[in-house]
Every structure is written in C-alpha cells, then in structure tokens.
Amino acid sequence: MAAVTYGLMATDATAKALMGQPTPGGIALQPAASQLKHDAHFFHDVILMPIITLICLFVLGLIIWIAIRYNKKANPVPARWSHNTAIEIVWTVLPVLILVGISLFSFRLLFAYHDMPTPDLTVKATGNQWNWAYEYPDQGVPEYISNMLPEAEARAQNVPYRLAADEPIVVPVGKVVRVLVTGADVIHAFALPAFGLKTDAVPGRVNETWFRAERTGIFYGQCSELCGVDHAFMPIQINVVTEAEFAAWVVSKGGSMTPKTAAEAPGGTAAQVAAGTSDAPVTTTADAAAATSIPTAQTATTPTAPAAAPAAAPAQ
C-alpha cells in the first residue's frame, strides 16, 4: 500500500508541471484546479482506492488459499455440505455496509456539484458537429464558434494539438462560472478534467454545471460523448485570466461588463434581475409597458374625454 501511495504521489508531482492537460505516462487523475475536483480527488484517492485495494487483495488471497487448500491432491475427499448460514449472512451484509459507506461520500460530492453558489457569470456552450459555440449572456457577448487549431498552427504556438482551440472560453479567476450546456444536432458532452466537469449536451435540453477556477492558466478538455466521425476534433479550451484581462476580452468581443438592461444580456442577467441579485436597474411594469407600447391597466381603464360637439348654426 505504501509503495502504491508513493507511486501515485510521485506521478502527481510530475503531473503538476502539466496542469490543465494530460500527462504522458500519468496514472493518476489530472491535478485539480477547482474545489469540486479536489473533492473528487478525495473521494477517489481516500475512499474508493483503499476499499478497492483491500477487496482485490482479499479476493486474491481467498483464491490462492482455496487453490492450495482444496485442490484434489490436498483434499481428495470433497466435503458434502453445501450451505453455511453464517458465511452467507456475512457475504450479504458486509457488501451492503461497504456500499452504504461509499454512498455517504458519493452523495456529498453529488450535492456539491448541484449546490451551485450564486453565479458571477454565465457561459452557454452549444455542441455542434464538430465544434463548440459559446455565448456570454451576462456580458452581451454574442455566440462565437470555437474550432480545433490545425496541427501546423498548434506546433508553431507550442500548444497541444487536438486540445488547443482557436477561440477559447475566457473566464476570470476566483469567480463562480455557470455553464449552460446544450446540443444543436446530436448528443455531445462538455468535459474538462482539471475542473471536474462532465455534462451531456443534449439537443432540446439545457443542462447546467459550474466551476470556480482557483488559479490562472490554460485548461484543456474534449467532447467525451461519441458524436460522429469527427468526435476526436472537438477540443475545449478554457483560459482563466485576471478580472482586468477578462474585462478587456469582453470589450474586444463587443460585450460590456455593465449591461444597462436585462434585455442587453438575456439569460443569466434576466434571472438575476428577477431575483434582485443584479446591479442592473430593475425595469418596472410601467417602463416595460412604455417600451413595448402595451398600455398598462391604469391607461386602459382611464376614460377618454368625448370630442366636443359641433357648434350650432346661427339662427336665421
């Protein structure tokens, strides 16, 4: 056990040099860059691996003991009994207890994924055959297409081929990012190991996940649902930058960090305005009615003064 643990630690130490991407020859999970992935590491390394290791060693020892103790040479006359109540109770109850223990940690991790804090921004990711489209409704950044970098360009920029994209997702460090995931044609999957993300992109359905990057850098993922002939050419690249760099990027994309109304940032901001959690001005019913030329209830029920009657003709 100590040798296995040391090997995992050594591999993890090597993997830290390749944060956000696969490590050649690595056997452990990718280094974590968000709290959700740290929790996933704990569940895998501290809960699942010791249990699986002990079960495998127990079964291996049991097989070796049976092969030696009950082979034909050592035991020429087989036993006549076929049931043992105590053993049957143990091998039924013990696995149940193990599964219940695992489920306690499993549900805690699952709740962490679903218990999203108040998001600071929203990114909509749409899977296409075979690229990704991204949109920032909170900042009014219109949809743009992200394709895989050609091999020659990736080599020239010294970035990993088939992982680097020409138009990455850009998010600020330390902010809660809500990702709305959907598909335009077939089922895709939005997966980024360093953040512990993997969410199906289903046509006609919007799934939700979130992350909060704890450090700046470039992080790579891929579509992880077999979606067609070019499934292997749908990389996901997330650039985590400072708030100032993010603001500059938003402006370069034609967006704004302070949209004036919810209509300028449909989706996330509209929901935040409705909940009273946004700094954007709240549009009143009267303002909305005036903007859309729909009369309010007060306007509709106010009687209109009758037109003045024509003057009588002078008497002859």
Each residue of 70-115: pLDDT tens digit? Answer: 888 888 888 887 888 998 999 999 999 999 999 999 999 999 999 9
pTM passes above 0.85: no
- Nearest 5 degrees, angle CA 276-CA 281-CA 286? 100
The closest of 41, 19, 49, 9 to 196, measured between CA atoms, is 41
How high does pLDDT run on average in the chain?
82
CB 146 within 8 A of CB 131: yes
pLDDT of residue 79: 80
Higher pLDDT pick, 62 / 82: 62
Helices 35-42/85-114 angle, 10° precision? 170
Structure tokens at 171: 């998010």
Round to whole Å and give the CA distance between 248 and 63: 64
pLDDT tens-digit profile of 234-251?
999 999 999 999 999 999
The closest of 151, 132, 123 to 240, measured between CA atoms, is 123
pLDDT of residue 306: 43
Q: Helices (DSSP H) in the chain: which residue ranges?
A: 2-15, 35-42, 49-69, 85-114, 151-157, 243-252, 268-275, 285-292, 297-301
pLDDT of residue 73: 86
Q: What is the mean pLDDT of residues 207-235?
A: 95
Name the percent of the chain lying above pLDDT 90: 66
Q: Does residue 252 carry a pLDDT above 60?
A: yes
Q: Does residue 288 carry a pLDDT above 80?
A: no
Q: Does residue 282 carry a pLDDT above 70?
A: no
Read off the pLDDT band of 262 (50, 70, 90): low
Cβ within 8 Å of residue 254, ≥6 positions away: 140, 141, 142
Asked which of 2-6, 23-27, 61-65 is least confident by mean pLDDT, the reply is 2-6
Round to whole Å and give the CA distance between 299 and 156: 66
pLDDT of residue 297: 36
Round to whole Å and give the CA distance between 70 and 76: 8
pLDDT of residue 18: 83
Higher pLDDT pick, 267 / 300: 267
Q: What is the mean pLDDT of residues 208-219?
A: 95
Q: What is the mean pLDDT of residues 192-216?
A: 95
Count of helices and strands (H, E) across the chain: 9, 10
Q: Does residue 61 carry a pLDDT above 70?
A: yes
Q: What are phi and psi of 286, to 5 degrees?
A: -65, -40
pLDDT of residue 154: 93
pLDDT of residue 238: 97
Instruction: State the sign of the Cα–Cα–Cα–Cα dihedral 33, 131, 267, 259.
Output: positive
Round to whole Å and give the CA distance between 221 and 132: 12
Strand partners, 122: 178
Q: What is the mean pLDDT of residues 211-228?
A: 95
Q: Does residue 295 carry a pLDDT above 50?
A: no
Read off the pLDDT band of 298 (50, 70, 90): very low
CB 195 within 8 A of CB 211: yes
